[in-house]
Structure 1
Amino acid sequence: MLKTKKLTLEQYLQPFSISAFAISEDESFLIYSSNSNGNYNLWKLELNGSAAPQQLTFHNQKTEAISISSNPMTKETSIFFTSDKDGNENSHLYSVNQNGGNWQDIRTEPQSRYFLGGVSQDGLRLFYTSTKDNPLYLSIFSYDIKSGLEKLLHEGQEAETHLLGMSPNEAEFAYFARTNHSNMKIYGTSNGCAVELVPDAKQEYRVSSLSYISEDIVYFGTNYGHEFTYLAKYDFHTGEFEKVLEILREDIESIKYCSTSGELYIKTKKGPVDRLYSYHLKNHALNDLNLPTDTIQDFLITDSCSVYICGSSARKPVTIFQKQKDKEWLPLLENQVETISEEELVKPELITYPSFDGVEIEAMYYSAKKENSNGHVIVYPHGGHNTTNRFFMMDFSNISFKRGSVFSLLTLGEPLIMALHF
């Protein structure tokens, strides 16, 4: 009689993670940071489908951000990225070429942390936020790769400061100053002077993301005067602030612009799931792109308006998908729990429960099958003032579920910070 082999813990831990990714300008290859061989390193995937991923680095450290830039004069391609050291969170800036060679230590100031903000169109300048010389409030810098000169663009004062974006000609920039996660201010420079993009604000607000459409026009996400984050517009020429688009009970988290089509691509969050839309700035058409995953870690838009996402679902490990204009989503990487079908994994039920003050708090309820149930419930309170748990694949919940436990994951998000303190 044949016996079915018992599923092992290792099978559930087999899927790899992806911490960051980027697409080359011509969309010929993809660079991503993954622990698929046990340690985080950079990998390259040719998008013609003819070869397996190629490992580019062997530094064995997690990468937070990646940017690919091609020098139009030399035609050389550089991969810029930030990695810390053994989880110390002091991310430094490095670069390699597209084959993994010519490693360069770019910004490695001891005890300083660097947040990569972008690369100039000619690939010769980097823009970033750093704790260098200003660990409490942070500052914004540019760095000339050819000369090695670093330039201070803005020194943060009185609140934590982060770069949001550079204008098309890179003469101006936008940033936010954060006192806490519900009290932020957003600024843009105009002729060297900082201008608050929510003029004469009478109450605290949050901001999420910003995209320059031209030298004078920016779109960004804010919840000023509202519960949920909406799309707003600011015109530097007229000084006008305008609410543009609100999506019912969804928070706008990230905005990216495709100049070819004149569309904004908008990622929103609704409870434990994400959605992605295209929004046409002229005819105001809003189109749901029907994501193949429940959540998105990050997404990118190319000049051809192709969309690339890195995301996962409750029963799907993280992977990268491509959607070309007017085509269906295409997975670019294979990542799955070995020998276990998607139907055998658990998808949680979203439930709510009342706090002591009547506020409804969301929770995810993973229910074991009757034939496996052992009558036990694992309660895992988790969350905080700036995060909630989402519908992404969680190894320990599936392991508990398969062994017969009911798993309850209680989440606490920013709007509910006063309801409970775990």
Structure 2
Amino acid sequence: MVKRTYEFERYMNVRSAMLPSFSPDGSQMAFLTDITGVHEVWSVAVEKQAKRPAWPEQLTFRNERMMEAVFSPVANTLIAVGDMGGNERTQLYLLHADGSVLKGLTEKPEVMHHFGAWSPDGRRIVYSSNERDQRYFDIYEMGIASGAVRLLYQQDGSNYACQYSPDGRSVLISRSLTTTQNQLLLLDTVTNEVRELTPAIQEGPAWHGAASWTADRKGLYLLSDRGREFMSLAYLDLETTEMTFLYELSWDIEQLALTEDGSVLALSINEDGCSRLELYDVTQGWDERKQLIAPTLPKGVVLSLGWSKEGNELAITLSAADDTTDIWVWHLDGGTVQRMTYSSTGGIPRDTFVSPQLLRYPSFDERQIPAFLYLPEGKHENLPVIISVHGGPESQERPRFNWLYQYLVACGYAVLAPNVRGSTGYGYEYQSLDDVRKRMDSVADLKYAVNWLCEQGIADPKRIAVMGGSYGGFMVLAALTTYPELWAAGVDIVGIANLVTFLENTGPWRRKLRESEYGSLEHDREFLEQISPINHVEKIVAPLFVIHGANDPRVPVGETEQIVKALQERNVPVECLIFADEGHGIVKRANRLQAYPAVVRFLDQHLRGEHR
């Protein structure tokens, strides 16, 4: 029996803070934190000379997930965004900065509302909604004082409001075509004229994002991978719509933040999963840029960037594998960096958290698969190992803080978190290696992860489990059915059991985009049936633990119900937890305290032979 120095609940008490927004005068910063057990909106005073920030104030008390809070550019009010029971039918709220008023602006609980931006004068907001038809998102504008709503743009597609132009007349729109292609449009809010800023490219990479107006207001800085392997910095001329690439690397430039006056540009670069910041004075344009000293931060992942209205402070959400997710502020004038939030570690000393080692292992075609390996203290031989597969699949395992990994490692498990083919962060070619008919190649990468762990002597071949959520849950079930002899157990969280029923029942606003990745029901149904785990369930011999939220709009709970019923009929050991007040993932603390200790008990039983 491995001694557990800190109990599971301690790890569940590790908190996070993220997504900061400065008040107009820069004296306050709103952000999200799960101090209460679910993310709510809080605020804290920004005091440049303070050695440690003041204790923050809680602003919302919904006891339901809040997902965003953005200050008005001119007043101490915010637009806050939240859903109910994990259903992702997000509503918009007007929130006073002291928390005294939380007023619903879009009280249509069956409709999704995606906040876009405040107008520069703070009188209007722009947002996207699928009110007209669940399959499509249109663009709406609301007057804050009157509450009057105006349909700005209607189109049978996935249209998302990004931001207003500096003069408040135009709105930048992103229309998603596939998971790797989109278009940028410019909508005149007075004439309703719409201009295409980028073409609708049907093949190859063509994503355009994170756009901001340049100092002369004649163009946009943006990130794009059009015709390229990696996301790069580009300039788009608003008159000619010609796009010029300015800065290209062999890694993705994943975030861009420009000061309101267009003078200072911050870039976050994803280098093998870790982030690197670069700052430039671009007052005279990119060609005359001056590189500025960037803040020195702990090694980790930058999750968000945001400037204050005056452009003197840059707020950064940073997560490190061995430290909590928190907010830092870079004071441009003094060149100092300040940690604004100190999320609780649940009483666990920070120096007990483990950082992973980055490695690469060969797969069936000799392609090198990147992975992060978390190891416990002591000997690293014949260990029980959990292979953790990220969702997406357009996503990337990165060295962010993961309380479950930390607990498992503290209990003597090793955790290998690979970026199998199809993951983002390694170029468009690598990201495309699992598309449609190549889907099962990514599952083969899991087999070769097992091979590598055993060849290195790290893993006990009889004590390896596979765990994943969402698409990662599909990977778990596919691994159990394709390579049943490899696994001692599996943990499937909100995963896909049947690609056909998944595509039939997923939220209608998602279906087209998902088909671009997985294949369509019209053209690929036979193949989708062929590779769906539910149609090979007789091959599963390893015990399985399944978790789902009843309100999941992405992977409906029927996916879990199918696989559980099929295993029960075959007397394969299966445990299942379905939460009535959760959606695509388990976010509420009370539910997590039920779900994840049960997962650990399950793993202990089947990988250690412990019965508790």
TM above 0.5: yes
**1:111-150 superposed matches below 5 A:** 111-150=110-149
Structure 1 residues 164 and 356: CA distance shift in structure 2, 3 A: farther
Moved more, 128-137 or 200-209: 200-209
Hey, what's the Cα distance between the residues in 2 that align with 1:359 and 1:259? 44
d(CA) in 2 for partners of 1:83, 1:345: 31
Secondary structure at the counterpart of residue 329 of structure 1: strand
**Matched residue type, 1:285:** K
1:348 maps to which residue?
Answer: 356
Superposition pairs of residues 169-248 of structure 1, within 5 angstroms: 169-189=167-187, 192-198=192-198, 203-204=203-204, 205-213=206-214, 214-246=216-248, 248=249
Q: Does 1:304 align with 2:302?
A: no
| Match of residue 162, structure 1, among 160, 163, 166 | 160
Q: List aligned pairs for 1:23-422, cutoff 5 A.
A: 23-48=22-47, 51-69=54-72, 71=74, 76-157=75-156, 159-189=157-187, 192-198=192-198, 203-204=203-204, 205-213=206-214, 214-246=216-248, 248-260=249-261, 262-281=263-282, 282=284, 283-287=288-292, 288-302=294-308, 303-325=310-332, 326-370=334-378, 375-412=383-420, 413-414=423-424, 415-416=430-431, 417-418=433-434, 419-421=441-443, 422=475
Asked if the contact 1:374/1:405 (under 8 Å) is kept, the reply is no
What letter is aligned with 1:300? G
Contact map agreement 2:41 2:69 (CA 8 A) in 1: no
CA contact (8 A) 1:273 1:295 kept: yes
Tell me, in whole angstroms, the C-alpha distance in 2 between the residues paired with 1:354 and 1:6.
36
Tell me: CA distance 1:20–1:261, structure 2 relative to 1, closer, same or farther (3 Å): closer
One-letter code aligned to 2:83: D
Alpha carbons 1:295, 1:391 under 8 Å: kept = yes
Query: How much does 1:80 deviate?
Result: 1.3
Question: Closer, same or farther in 2 for the Cα pair 1:261/1:289, shift >3 Å?
Answer: farther
In structure 2, how many angstroms separate the alpha carbons of the residues matched to 1:352 and 1:156? Answer: 45
SS of residue matched to 1:107: coil
Moved more, 369-378 or 54-63: 369-378
43-52 or 83-92: which moved more?
43-52
Bigger fraction of residues in strand:
1
Q: Matches of 1:83 and 1:339 in 2, distance apart?
A: 29
5-14 or 195-204, larger mean C-alpha shift: 195-204
2 CA distance for matches of 1:224 and 1:41? 37
How many residues matched? 413
Whether contact under 8 Å (2:386, 2:413) holds in the other structure is: yes
What's the CA shift for 1:83? 0.4
Contact 2:118 2:126 in 1 (8 A): yes
Asked if structure 2 preserves the Cα contact closer than 8 Å seen for 1:314 and 1:392, the reply is yes
SS in 1 for 2:43: strand
C-alpha contact 1:19 1:62 (8 A) present in aligned 2: no
Distance (whole Å) between structure 2 residues aligned to residue 262 and residue 153 of structure 1: 31
CA apart distance, 1:19: 5.1
Q: Give, in angstroms, the shift of residue 119 of structure 1.
A: 1.0
Q: Distance in 2 between matches of 1:201 and 1:215?
A: 26
**What SS does the corresponding residue of 2:409 show, helix, strand or coil?**
helix
CA gap of 1:293–1:322, structure 2 versus 1, over 3 A, is farther
In the alignment, the residues of structure 2 paired with residue 242 and residue 51 of structure 1 have an alpha-carbon distance, to the nearest angstrom, of 45
Indicate the structure with greater helix content: 2
Deviates more, 1:12-21 or 1:22-31: 12-21
TM-score by length of 2: 0.63
Q: Is the 8 A contact 1:119 1:127 kept in 2?
A: yes
CA separation of 1:261 and 1:267: change in aligned 2, threshold 3 A: same
Deviation of 1:105 after TM superposition, in Å, equals 0.9
Tell me the SS of whatever aligns to 1:401.
helix
SS in 2 for 1:109: coil
Q: Secondary structure of the equivalent of 2:9?
A: helix
AA aligned opposite 1:291: L
Corresponding residue SS for 1:400:
helix
| Deviation readout 1:248-268 (Å, 9 max, x if unpaired) | 222122222114571222223
Larger-Rg structure: 2
Inter-partner Cα distance in structure 1 for 2:202 and 2:134: 29
Distance 1:340 1:200 in 2: 51
Deviations 1:125-161 (A, max 9, x none): 111112221322201111011222111222233x322
1:81 Cα deviation after fit: 0.5
Share of identical aligned residues, percent? 21
8 A Cα contact 2:221 2:236, kept in partner: yes
Residue 371 of structure 1 and its aligned partner are, at CA, apart by 5.4
Q: Find the aligned partners of 1:115 and 1:172 in 2 and give their Cα distance.
A: 18
SS in 2 for 1:7: coil
Paired residues of 2:4 and 2:410 also in contact (CA < 8 A): no
Closer, same or farther: CA 232–193 of 1 in aligned 2, 3 Å: farther
RCO higher in 1 or 2 (8 Å CA, sep ≥ 6)? 2
1:348 positional shift: 0.6
Mean Cα displacement is larger for which, 132-141 or 4-13?
Answer: 4-13
Describe the shift of the 1:186–1:304 C-alpha distance in structure 2 as closer, same or farther (beyond 3 A). Answer: closer
> What secondary structure, in the 3-state scheme, does the structure 2 residue paired with 1:386 have?
coil
Change (3 A) 1:338 1:101: closer
Question: Residues of 2 paired with 1:103 and 1:393: CA distance?
Answer: 31
List 4+ stretches of structure 1 deviating above 6 A: none
Q: 1:200 to 1:296 in 2, by over 3 A?
A: closer
* Structure 2 CA distance for partners of 1:410 and 1:389, relative to 1, 3 Å: same
Q: Greater shift after overlay, 84-93 or 348-357?
A: 348-357
